[in-house]
Structure 1
Amino acid sequence: MSKKIYITALHLLHGGVEMSISLIANALVEKGYEVEILCSYNLGEPSYSIDPKVKITYLTDLKPNKDEFKAAVKEKNIINILKEGLYSVRVLREKKSSMAKAIKNIENGTILSTRNEHSVLLSKYGKEQVNKVAQLHHDHKFDGNLIKDFQNNYSNIDYFVLLTELLRDEVEEMLKGHNDKTKCLCIPNFLEEEEIENLHKEKQVVAVGRLHSVKGFDRLIDIWAIASKECPEWKLKIIGGGEEEASIKGKINELDLNNSVELTGMLNHEETMKEMSKSGVFAMTSHSEGFPFVLIEALMCSTPIVAFDVRVGPRAIIEDGKDGYLIPDKELEQYANQLIKLIKDENLRDELSKNAKVKSKEFMKDKILEKWIEIL
């Protein structure tokens, strides 16, 4: 088998999928593989460090225009709606055709697809002698279209890599009677081990993520409205930016929490890790997740976690009662009570903090990379 690895990408800006692509590309070139990222859009310098030995090939010169199209619709400008609509169709057509062409032209090695749309193209156009590996970086949520693709449009995929054992077992069941070729595997995300400065833990709860409805920051504010009454000396710091910023600020004002909640906006990696390292607790209130890097980073920073036990994600990382707590989804009062208990019990925080650091070792590069090498 050729040691050439191709990894598909939509873009290389900020995001969990993009972080995963960067990490695995860097790790594989270290192991002597020749790695090329096939990227649909060139939206600027990659957000994450990529080894100079990794080749990046941008497949189109076009850029998505979702914001421009939305603006035209909002302004009810018919000419601009037509103009941006036609351009959008061109972008989408080129995005698909350029990736299909790139896959068709690969004669050997391994192609690792990182999105469902790419996996469908890989199954359809990937050469027989090419090792074809698909990934799913999020919860399928039993979406009918996704399941239909798994069953009918992955028949030429050799390996299907899922982030958790639950997802692997579910997809294996979905494929029965439809696809006997594809082997489902569980390989979680990994991180490079870092030297984390051992900062004094402050009276601070930290949360990190896109300010998007799926991340549930609105319910974190509701939870904090309860917790802050019991723990007035503590602060909540939310790191991230996004479309929900205005509504979250509005909720903070409405609940009179301006003195105890801070929205920092986007911070770079070093600043984010510093904030997590000095925080007493990490809070996650997402409605859904895949395999969140940020939870592994919190463990690396010796910061115990409180998270909703949504279908996929947190339970694959957190051991309830040992390095954090898993709260039944939507139980905001129970979440607030557990957060208050953790805040008030310094000895408990210290115990979970030590366990968190140990747990983080399970998700470091060398251990997880062995699983990738097996299928390459």
Structure 2
Amino acid sequence: MNRKKILFVYYQNIQIGGVAKVLTNLTSELVENGYDVDILFLMDTHPDFYPVNTKITKYYIDSFANKYSKFATHINKKYKFIPKIYNIHSYFYDLGSYVVLKEWIREHHHHYDTIVSCWYKLSTMLSGEKNISQKTIAWEHSSFRVGGVLYDKLFRKNYKKLKSIICINKPSVAYYEKLNKTFFIPNMIDEIFEEQKSITIDQKENIISFVGRLDKTKNVIELVKIFHDTQKTSDWKLQIIGDGPERQNITQYIKDNNLENTIFLLGIKNPYEISQLLGKSKIFAFTSLSEAFGLALVEAMFCSNAIVSYDCEFGPADIINEKNGFLIPLHNQQLFAEKLELLINNDQLLDSLIQSSYAESNTWKKEKIIQQWEKIL
């Protein structure tokens, strides 16, 4: 049995979020495969939003208790009316996080064969620590553009000191492999989706689905407008799964255009509920402005959905092809609506894409992803 000891480092597991979700899924698989796994959270002790395997030891360090982080919170509250005050807040909070992480990691790093940092800022912090950087893998959950000029031109140069880099989209691989050994490993989905059987078109309803956070980046308001403009029979519905700051704007648009009987905001659902809802829908629509990967697209494939998505940076182009749907140039609402109409009015094409989309989902099964991780570890 492999008893290599691995430490994963991330901020928290208190709310819905892609990183915490895939972190708990991956670590559970690794510990069941014989690895000795710990997770370090940069937050005080908190209940898990996503269940953590009971074989995993969790450690907590309260980055918010540091004086720099406290100052960051103070200025963000007191001076929130100042433009871009949050940027200043972030710099001070990051400094506080670095101080507490450095203290803990210097004391405990010798217990671990490998350290996996789950966010680019944490990877930057660890890359500057001698002896620690050499056994640290940067697990990049965002695009290489995140962080702006400061990280791009200055901090990421230290990635050369790391053991290696793992990316979840291919453009990021091309960027990082100039700095260090870099690997493309997609994110792992919940087991409930892998357990889905193929669903035929006659078992489904005339539903188009979206799953994700309702924020400006996910751009759901544009999807609602596209659906409104799409020529379709009255029995077609749009179900939106998720919540976030844009919910009120979306609700108001639905109300203003009398769409209450065709567009439904279902709120946050657990993975089982999402799999059941996607199992009923025929088409999955995605109008995000940027993605690091696009896990919801893969989940939709496992639930036998044809996909229509904007070709945003970076994830969808790694996932979508002629066998599972259509990639639409960003903000081309007319073409997006045309592709929806094509699928709505052509049962033969839609059925073919539903079947081949499910077949394509085999590419993203966790067994293959774990094999890639184990090869690197």
Instruction: With the length of structure 1 as denominator, give the TM-score of the two structures.
Output: 0.87
Residues 45 and 60 of structure 2 are in contact (CA less than 8 Å); yes or no, is this contact kept in structure 1? no
Shift of 1:71: 6.7
Cα separation, partners in 2 of 1:264 and 1:201, compared to 1, 3 Å: same
Q: Which residue of 2 aligns with 1:157?
A: 162
Task: Please tell me whether residue 323 in structure 1 is matched to residue 324 in structure 2.
Answer: yes
Offset from partner CA, 1:118-166 (integer Å, 9 cap, x none): 1011111252595210021112237322322464222321101111222
Offset from partner CA, 1:170-227 (integer Å, 9 cap, x none): 2334x3xxxxxx2121111122543226662111101011010000101101101111
Instruction: Within 5 Å, give how 1:191-270 maps onto structure 2.
Output: 191-194=189-192, 195-196=195-196, 200-227=203-230, 229-270=231-272
Q: Which residue of 2 aligns with 1:340?
A: 341
Amino acid at match of 1:103: I
Residues 169 and 315 of structure 2 are in contact (CA less than 8 Å); yes or no, is this contact kept in structure 1? yes
Task: Please tell me whether residue 183 in structure 1 is matched to residue 184 in structure 2.
Answer: no
Amino acid at match of 1:53: K
Amino acid at match of 2:290: S
Q: Which residue of 2 aligns with 1:359?
A: 360
Shift of 1:255: 2.7
The count of residues paired between Structure 1 and Structure 2 equals 360
Structure 1 stretches of 4+ moved >3 Å? 61-76, 86-94
Residues 2 and 110 of structure 1 are in contact (CA less than 8 Å); yes or no, is this contact kept in structure 2? no
Shift of 1:278: 0.5
Shift of 1:102: 2.4
| Residue segments in structure 2 that go unaligned for 5+ positions in a row | 83-87
Shift of 1:46: 1.8
Query: Structure 2: how far apart are the matches of 1:87 and 1:286?
Result: 27
> Equivalent pairs: percent with the same residue?
29
Query: Structure 1: how far apart are the matches of 2:362 and 2:347?
Result: 24
Query: Structure 2: how far apart are the matches of 1:304 and 1:38?
Result: 39
Offset from partner CA, 1:252-299 (integer Å, 9 cap, x none): 223332221111111121111111110011111000001121111101
Residues 60 and 94 of structure 1 are in contact (CA less than 8 Å); yes or no, is this contact kept in structure 2? no
Stretch of structure 1 that moved more, 99-108 or 66-75: 66-75
Q: Which residue of 1 aligns with 2:85?
A: none
Secondary structure of 2:116's aligned partner: strand
Task: Please tell me whether residue 133 in structure 1 is matched to residue 137 in structure 2.
Answer: yes
Secondary structure of 1:264's aligned partner: strand
Residues 124 and 153 of structure 1 are in contact (CA less than 8 Å); yes or no, is this contact kept in structure 2? yes
Stretch of structure 1 that moved more, 301-310 or 158-167: 158-167
Amino acid at match of 1:334: L
Shift of 1:47: 2.0
Shift of 1:343: 1.5
Query: Structure 1: how far apart are the matches of 2:54 and 2:318?
Result: 33
Query: Structure 1: how far apart are the matches of 2:73 and 2:211?
Result: 24
Instruction: Within 5 Å, give how 1:271-282 maps onto structure 2.
Output: 271-282=273-284
Query: Structure 2: how far apart are the matches of 1:215 and 1:88?
Result: 22
CA RMSD of aligned residues (A): 2.9
Offset from partner CA, 1:229-273 (integer Å, 9 cap, x none): 433220101011111111111122233322211111111211111
Secondary structure of 2:350's aligned partner: helix
Query: Structure 2: how far apart are the matches of 1:14 and 1:40?
Result: 17
Cα separation, partners in 2 of 1:88 and 1:190, compared to 1, 3 Å: closer
